[in-house]
């Protein structure tokens, strides 16, 4: 449900297409909920719906594509940031601001 909300907010704010990233191997799979393009840069977005989330897929994407400068993780939690991992944590209601600001 939260993923759908974020998707709708992104589309309403940007009216552009957005994508997702997936990688599957024989031993594992990884998926990132959304990818958007903003000012020529790719920005991964994930939606955290549970309490214990490791963000393994997001970390894998960031390790694989070093040119990605920042990723956003949306949840029911408050704002937070792990600069060295290039991840900003935002409350769900910040979806529109994340894709339209700066």
Average pLDDT over residues 24-32: 83
Examine residue 8 and state whether it is found in any structural domain, yes or no.
Answer: yes
pTM: 0.83
List C-alpha distances in Å: 99 to 15, 44, 74: 11, 11, 12
pLDDT at 50 over 70: no
For position 71, which CATH number holds?
3.40.1350.10
- For the chain, the domain total comes to 1
Please state which of the ranges 17-26, 75-84, 93-102 shows the lowest mean pLDDT.
93-102
Examine residue 102 and state whether it is found in any structural domain, yes or no.
Answer: no
Please, which pLDDT band fits residue 86 given cuts at 50, 70 and 90? very high
Buried b vs exposed e over 71-90: b needs ≥16 C-beta within 10 Å?
Answer: bbbbbeeeeeeeeeebbbbb
Mean pLDDT of all residues belonging to the chain:
85
Supply the range of the domain harboring residue 21: 2-97
Average pLDDT over residues 60-84: 89
Examine residue 29 and state whether it is found in any structural domain, yes or no.
Answer: yes
């Amino acid at each position: 449900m939260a993923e759908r909300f974020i998707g709708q907010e992104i589309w309403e704010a940007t009216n552009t297409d957005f994508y997702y990233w997936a990688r599957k191997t024989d031993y594992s799979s990884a998926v990132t909920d959304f990818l958007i393009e903003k000012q020529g840069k790719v920005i991964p977005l994930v939606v955290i719906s549970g309490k214990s989330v490791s963000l393994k897929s997001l970390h894998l994407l960031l390790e694989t594509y070093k040119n990605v400068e920042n990723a956003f993780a949306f949840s029911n939690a408050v704002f937070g940031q792990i600069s060295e991992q290039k991840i900003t944590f935002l409350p769900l209601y910040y979806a529109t601001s994340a894709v339209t600001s700066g």
